[in-house]
Amino acid sequence: MKRNLFIILLFLSPLVLHAQWRIGVSGGADYNKYSINTNYQVDFRYEGAWGWSAAVFGQYNFTDWLGIRAELEATERNYRFYRTGVWAGTNYVLHNTYLQLPVMAQFSFGGQNLRGFVNVGCYAGYWLTGKYKGTVVDMINDTTVAINEPYIFQNEKDQHWDLGLAGGLGIEYRFLEHWAMHVESRYYYSFISTVKQYQQIKDYRYNTTLGIQAGFSYIF
């Protein structure tokens, strides 16, 4: 047993030697696309919409090219819904706020101060809130009215939990011995439908999010 443990530590020793911790913050904008089958509802239009994201993260580098990064991120996954035809005037963005935890392996490459990196991993998230902002057609008075109201969750239908792939491509500049800044394009691909399969009819709706974010990190 002791022999086995010794062998494992021996193999890990190069990694431990390069071990390095860092923590940081990042934030930016994201563009979310909502995938839904609208079937025969030909004037139901779903379009992507912009939102924001903010995160704190910690990263542990095993070597100079491989690390593992975990983030705690608040992010919006918004989409626009609008109608054409006689219901033109209904046009709102559903602002959805998620709290999520991406865990990614980071592969980096390049020089001492300026390095590129690729993040690959997965994330788990939780849909915290939703809010409608925009206009709807008032069916009673035949006018268009502004709305700014919370989305009311339906427990039977709405899936709060989210899970999917996370990936990123970025560049980092180490401007001081312990400080670095980065810019990253981030991609989230959800595997979990935002609606539960609460009915016999199969109906899957997904978020796919592309973001651009920048941040700083402190390297211990």
Partner 1 sequence: MKKTFTIQYVFAILIALCVTSCRPESDDLLSYGQNDYQSYYDANHTFAGEFEAFWMAMNENYGIWDYEAEFGLDWDEVYNTYLSRFEELDQRRTRVTDAELEALYTEITDPLHDGHMALTVKNLHTGKYIGLTPHQNRVRREREQDLTEAMLNLTSLDAYLTPEMDAAYRIKAYDGTGSTDIAFEFIDSTMTRAKRAADAYIAMVDAAGGPNASNDSLYVAADSLRVDAQKLILFINTLPLSVRVMMKSYLLATYDMLYTKYAFVGKQIGAPIVELEKEFKEDLLGSFRFALFEGNIAYLRFSGFGLTPHMTSSASSTENPTMYSAYQEAVKRVWHHWFDTIQVLHKSGQLGGVVFDMRNNTGGNLNDYQYVLGALLPSGGWDSHMLRLKNGSGRLDFAPLQPFTAPTYPEAHEVINDRPIVVLANCQSISMAEMTTWGVKSQPNGHFIGVRTYGALSGLSAEPESYSDNYSGAFGVQNVTPIWGYVPKLISLFGEQQQILEGVGITPDQEVHLDANMWMMQQRDNQLEAALDYIRRN
| Footprint of partner 1 (CB under 8 A) | 35-37, 39-41, 44, 65-66, 85-87, 90, 92, 105, 107, 120, 132, 136, 138-141, 145, 147, 149, 151-152, 154, 156-157, 164-165, 167, 189, 191, 195, 198-206
The strand pairing partners of 191, in sequence order, are none
The H or E element spanning position 68 is: strand 66-76
- Closer residue to partner 1 in complex, CB, 93/215: 93
Shortest distance, position 38 Cβ to partner 1, whole Å: 8
CB of 151 vs partner 1, minimal distance in Å:
8
CB nearer to partner 1: pick between 47 and 138 = 138
Task: Work out how close the CB of 75 gets to partner 1 at its nearest, in angstroms, rounded to a whole number.
Answer: 20
Work out the widest C-alpha separation in the chain, in whole angstroms: 81
Query: Using CB atoms within 10 A of its CB, is residue 75 exposed (0-12), middle (13-18) or buried (19+)?
Result: buried
Least CB distance to partner 1 at residue 134 (A): 9
Residue 217 parent element (H or E): strand 206-219
User: Which residue's entry shows tokens 């819904």?
Assistant: 81
Query: Could you give the 3-state DSSP secondary structure of residue 175?
Result: coil
Instruction: Please tell me the distance from the alpha carbon of residue 102 to that of residue 1, in angstroms, as a whole number.
Output: 35
Minimum CB separation of residue 87 from partner 1 in Å reads 7
Nearer to partner 1, 39 or 112 (CB): 39
Identify the DSSP state of 88: T
- 208 and 188 in contact (C-beta within 8 Å)? yes
Q: Which is nearer to partner 1, 142 or 177 (CB)?
A: 142
The count of other CB atoms within 10 Å of the CB of residue 71 is 25
- Which residue's CB is nearer to partner 1, number 132 or number 179? 132
> Which residue has tokens 């443990």?
5
